[in-house]
Amino acid sequence: MKSLFGIFVLYQIFSIGATFGDHILITKYCEAKNIHIGTIFSCQNKRDNMKKIISLSTVGLRFLNVDISHLHNQNFPLDQLDQVLNRNHYHLAVIIDSGCIDYADFAIQDKKYFYETYHWLVPTTPQNLNNSLNFLQKSPLNINSDVNVAILNGEGTKWSILDVYNPASSHHGQFTVTKLGLCDETNGYQAKIAGNKYWSRKNMTGVQFKSAVVVPDPSIKLNDYLTSDKNRQLHSMHRFQSVTVNYCREMYNFSLEIQRTNSWGYLTPNGHFDGLVGLLERRLVDFGSSPLIYKLDRMPVIDYSYGNWVLRSTFIYRRPKIIEASYKIFLRPLSRTVWICIVLMMVLLMLFLKVVFSREKRLLQKRNLVDSSWSFLFLFTLGAFCQQGATCHPQLLSSRTLSIFVFLFCILTYQFYSASIVSYLLIDPPRKINNLKDLSDSNLRAGIEDILIDRNYFVQTTDPVAIELFNKKIKFSNNNSGFYEPWDGLDLVKQGGFAFHVETSTAYPIIEETFTNEEICELEEVQMYRTQPMHTNLQKNSPFREMMNYCMLHLVENGLMYRLRKYWDARKPMCIESAKKFTFNVGLKEFSSGLIVLSYGILISLGLLLREVIVHKKVYIKDLFRKKNAKNAVQPFTN
């Protein structure tokens, strides 16, 4: 086989000018397409090729000129075709001389060279027109092709431009030729498609595509699944995507043969995919009617199009009641600094009361009504803080004034303290679970919706927090025990103490139907993985990707996509604050500190009572012996 340099009579990159008959056409075509580089397939002799390149050196367009006259009855290797047409440029012009069309069969070996980035121009004459169209009819054209045929008019400087495409050549589409415009030296290339190419070609004449939809439940009938919107909270993403694909079917006038599969598509031990991705990989279907999320392992085998569904899954749970140590509940309203200030103030008050009451006791000895002992002053001050009222009646103006301000200070402190406890019971407790790590460390049980996306997530994730949560709360001796159907998982959430990871489009309608307003107001959410779009999916290097993109964006522009999302993707249940019912249940745990303090007080008082009884008994016995000894004592005789 001859080398590439042997096949190419001329392989040089020059600036192209104009000395041959179609130079005006090529120049105006490149200006209209905004292309600066390309490939010309011709069969002229070496001298003419050299003149062509040298004479077309004034416009600034770089082309590779390939002489194909020696390729008759030879197979042009596909790898060498790649070297010719893969130029590492986004857009490339491809010019084929109609006089060489019989030698150009090699150019139609791969359909990718007729995709959007390749702009084909076939200059021809009325005599060669049928030959040129026959060549193109055998080519793998599709709706995305950009192929123009330029017919030279009699004057020699004007061209009639034809637009040539096939909606889907591999699906027996109808070869279509339409008059597009004219080209001349004065007016340039006046042959552009009015509007968007896919809108102009939207009539695909009923070609049939194959598609597949994910139906997780094998008992569901496919037709009912696709046509009914009953219980639309179940498998919303698949049914939503099927609806959008049906809009595209009506817009482009193609038909669909739909089959079912039970999986999105995950790698199997043999290195291939199952489910929807496997069908696309083996080219058994053209595109999916269920959306897919981006996964790196899928990128080599499928193409992604517009992401029209937003997947949001989250852990949903009722806000756990924060149960602190009982003594903290009573200490919570005041900070440590405030408590220290109150204790110091009580000490100071006791000192001032000691001075005032002692002075009153000395001045009013005949009317002594005030006890100035330290134990009494402690009881007086503590009683004032506990709103017990006065236990004595000071007589002097100074002692009465101090007592009034002691009671005033104590009532202000008591009111603030009691109001803080009530407000603590009234307001919602602060949120303690703010991320996945907090959820993993909490005492909540957890479960996962039984869908393949979440099962596969735990298989492939490298997030250490997610792995820790799975091993701690999801994975048990029976691995299936941590996965639940949506109704079962949300019923456990309703009971409390349980966090359930579920798609919001599935969970929200169930919550609205089964939860009370108070329970809805208690719900909190923590995401395990980010919200992400799910995309329309097609075969790798599919010629219909941009077609589907245009259809989906058209739905976005006219508002249909928003309407469909609003209909199929449930809104978050609203918490009506004004309708909340406040119920407080103070349990024994919260009340236990009061009982503990009372118990300590009883024990201490009993201990002190026992000690007092013993001391009193000892004193009584001593007095008894003393009296007895005094009675039995010998009295001295006196006369």
For residue 178, tell me if it sits in a domain.
yes
> What separation in angstroms does the CA of 77 have from each of 1, 108, 354?
10, 12, 112
Cα 556 to chain centroid distance, Å, stands at 20
Position 381 in a domain: yes
Measure the CA angle with vertex 498, ends 493 and 500; round to 5°.
70
Q: Note whether residue 418 is domain-resident.
A: yes
Inside any domain, residue 450:
no
Residues 6 or more apart whose CB falls under 8 angstroms from that of 286 comprise 171, 209, 210, 211, 538, 539, 542, 544
- Residue 339: give its domain's CATH number: 1.10.287
Model pLDDT for residues 87-119, shown as the tens digit of each residue: 666 788 888 888 777 667 766 667 778 888 899
Average pLDDT per consecutive 10 residues, the chain (639 residues; last block may be shorter): 34 35 81 87 74 69 76 56 69 84 69 85 90 89 93 81 93 92 88 88 93 86 80 82 93 93 89 92 94 91 92 92 64 77 83 78 65 75 73 72 80 79 71 89 90 88 91 73 89 93 92 90 91 93 93 93 90 79 64 76 85 83 76 58
For residues 148 and 62, the answer to whether their CB atoms sit within 8 Å is no
Residue 502 covered by a domain: no
Last residue of a domain, one of 200, 235, 250: 200
CA distances from 3 to 6, 9, 401, 558, 582 (A): 5, 11, 116, 55, 87
Mark which of 400, 426, 452 sits at the end of a domain.
Answer: 426
Query: Which pLDDT belongs to residue 17?
Result: 35
The answer to whether the Cα torsion of 204, 205, 207, 211 is positive or negative is positive
Given phi > 0 = left and psi -120 to 50 = alpha, else beta, which region is 445?
beta
Structure tokens at 131: 């030959």
Classify the C-alpha dihedral 107-112-116-117 as positive or negative.
negative
Identity of the residue numbered 24: I
Sign of torsion over alpha carbons 491, 317, 498, 431: negative
Pair 493, 499: CB distance under 8 Å: yes
Distance CA 96, CA 22 (A): 11
What long-range pairs does 459-462 form, CB within 8 A, spacing at least 24? 461/529
Chain-centre distance for alpha carbon 452: 17
pLDDT for residue 634: 56
Task: Give pTM, 2 decimals.
Answer: 0.74
SS3 state at 307: strand
Q: Is residue 379 part of a domain?
A: yes
Q: Work out the angle between the directed axes of helices 236-252 and 504-514 (0-180°, nearest 10).
A: 120
In a domain, 77, yes or no: yes
- Please work out, in degrees rounded to the nearest 5, the angle formed at the alpha carbon of residue 479 by the alpha carbons of 477 and 485: 130
Query: Would 617 be classed as within a structural domain?
Result: no
pLDDT of 482: 86
| Closest CA relative to residue 402, chosen from 366, 363, 364, 350 | 350
Q: What is the pLDDT of residues 473-517, one digit of tens each?
A: 888 755 557 899 999 999 999 998 999 999 999 999 999 999 998
pLDDT of residue 587: 65
Query: What is the CATH classification number for the domain harbouring 104?
Result: 3.40.50
Number of domains in the chain: 2
Q: Which residues of 466-484 are buried (b: 16+ CB within 10 A; e: fewer)?
A: beebbeebbeeeeeeebbb
**Calpha distance 539→303 (Å, rounded):** 6
Long-range pairs of 153-157 with CB within 8 A, sequence gap ≥ 24: 156/21, 157/24, 157/184, 157/185
Tell me the backbone φ, ψ of residue 520, rounded to 5 degrees: -65, -40
Domain containing 27: what range? 4-200
Confidence at residue 615, expressed as pLDDT on a 0 to 100 scale = 85
Determine the Cα–Cα distance for residues 15 and 35; give it in Å rounded to an integer: 13
Q: CA–CA separation, 43 vs 36, rounded Å?
A: 22
User: Last residue of a domain, which of 370, 399, 426?
Assistant: 426
Give the closest residue to 11 by CA, choosing from 51, 69, 50.
50
Residue among 2, 9, 136 nearest 69 (CA): 9
Element (H, E) at 176: strand 176-184
Tell which residue, 528, 537, 527, 536, has the closest CA to residue 555.
536
* Residue matched to tokens 């905004």: 34
Task: Give the integer Cα–Cα distance in Å for 63 and 251.
Answer: 39
